[in-house]
Structure 1
Amino acid sequence: MLVWERPEPPDRPVPAPLSRERIVQAAIRLADADGLDAVSLRKVAAELDVGPMRLYGYLATKEELLDLMVDAVHAEIRPTGDGWREVLLSLAETTRRAAHRHEWLADLLGGRPQLGPNTLTGGEAVLAAMGDVDLDVVVPAVSAVAAYVIGAVRREITERRAERESGMDQRQWQVTHGPYLLRLFATGRFPALAAVVHDGPHLDADQTFRTGLDFLLDGIGARISP
């Protein structure tokens, strides 16, 4: 029986009250602070001041815990709006914001299908918003938006982690590596790249995300209303 259907054991207030929700929230706190490497059943039990064996009445494996964590964060992803475009836009932006609040989510997005109640509720809202659009368009359209968001979010989170590890923000990186690129472009071997660096738009992360998403939604719109 999947963890979503398995009943919790009876409450035992001594030595400490416990529930799946408390376990999941403790795991999220650890992951928010120190990443997924900080999450184990032993560490979560210590966070809750209980013995590790008590957790096994509520979940069987760490994989189940990760599934519960992802679904808990999906409660923060609530697509809203009138019509398919607004809802897909909301899905993308709320997913991105949730991943920025919980960087570890970027490592788990795009894995096996999530079957938790919050995830399914969000999926239902998105599909319902597509209205009477043919399913041959709906399915690849929603998949395309999900793939775009996962890729964009993972790139952003990777950049944030790299900045923390190197102690160098984007501006400092450009100052450090700029002279090398200028010398390389001066050879004339990379004229297209040189043109992009010198004359291309220099968008911040929010603008980059929204512009790419608009391109994708415009393409979906062309398929829906040729």
Structure 2
Amino acid sequence: MPLDRERIVAAAIALADEGGLEAVSLRKVAARLNAGPMRLYGYISTKQELFDLMVDEVHAEILPAEQPGDWREALRVLAHRTRQAALRHVWLADLLGGRPTLGPNGMAVTEAKLAALDGFADIDTVLRAVEIVSSYLTGAIRREIANLRAERVTGLSKREWQRASGPHLTKMLATGRFPALTKAVHDGADVDAETSFATGLDWVLDAVAAKLTRPPAV
């Protein structure tokens, strides 16, 4: 079967899904496709270019078939779809938050974010709002993925790690040096990752809403 960019990117994504970004190289992708490494250079110049194409391909999974009419719901849908894509492709967390994605799918996602807020504020306010939401997504997703990776490395679930760490934590809190942390540990609600993500997202959208003022009709 002849090579093309689509097959190369699909093979790279499969390798990354199996073993992370460290499992991706032009040589390994070529081996997955039963091709010589030099053949790939006719389609991909560098590994960074390959990573960019992989990210853009995953962005196709983020864009919904239909854009909700309400700006808040539109941004919420995009945020949750981004998180779901990152959970399917854990390596994506390592590539979020850098330079803008300039592939067609990445640009379409950015267009959807900006379009959701179009008309509610001046363009600079819209840009800052989109940046703030995106920054929350990047941080929240990276934290969740880091916890998932820790579970895989240690073999301990969150509950098992908490039980194993309990004696040390109890000893440290008993010193009285950490009263706010003690209150959080004893009185704070333990919520799952999805609930935490959704709650934080709603708070960020509340902050965005406070800055939006639809301009009067002309």
Q: How does 1:183-202 map to 2 (within 5 A)?
A: 183-202=171-190
Structure 2: how far apart are the matches of 1:212 and 1:121? 25
Q: Tell me if the contact between 1:185 and 1:194 (Cα under 8 Å) persists in the aligned partners.
A: yes
Equivalenced residues, count: 211
- Check whether the contact 1:83–1:130 (CA below 8 A) recurs between aligned residues: no
TM-score (normalised: structure 1): 0.90
Alpha-carbon distance in 1 for matches of 2:178, 2:106: 45
Name stretches of at least 5 consecutive residues in structure 1 with no aligned partner.
1-15
Q: Write the distance in 2 (CA, Å) between the matches of 1:68 and 1:131.
A: 28
Match of 1:135 in 2: 123
Q: Secondary structure at the match of 1:76?
A: helix
Residues 1:176 and 2:164 aligned together: yes
Displacement over 3 Å in runs of 4+: none
CA distance in 2, matches of 1:125, 1:69: 20
Per chain length, whose mean CA-contact separation is higher, i.e. which structure has more relative contact order (CA < 8 Å, sep 6+)? Answer: 2
**What percentage of residue pairs aligned between the two structures are identical?**
59
Aligned Cα root-mean-square deviation (Å): 1.2
Q: Distance in 2 between matches of 1:186 and 1:51?
A: 62
- Among candidates 31, 34, 37, match of residue 22 of structure 2: 37
Q: Deviations over 1:96-148 (max 9, x none)?
A: 00000000000011111110000111111221121302212211110011100
Between Structure 1 and Structure 2, which shows a larger proportion of helix residues? 2
**What residue number does 1:23 align with?**
8
Q: Compute the TM-score of the two structures, normalised by the length of structure 2.
A: 0.93
Q: Which runs of 5+ in 2 are unaligned?
A: none
Aligned pair partner of 1:91 in 78, 87, 92: 78
Match of 1:149 among 94, 119, 137: 137
Query: In 2, Cα distance between the equivalents of 1:173 and 1:191?
Result: 22
Supply the distance in 1 between the matched residues of 2:104 and 2:173 (Cα, whole angstroms): 53
For residues 49 and 135 of structure 2, what CA distance do their matches in structure 1 show? Answer: 24
| Alignment match, 1:69 | 54
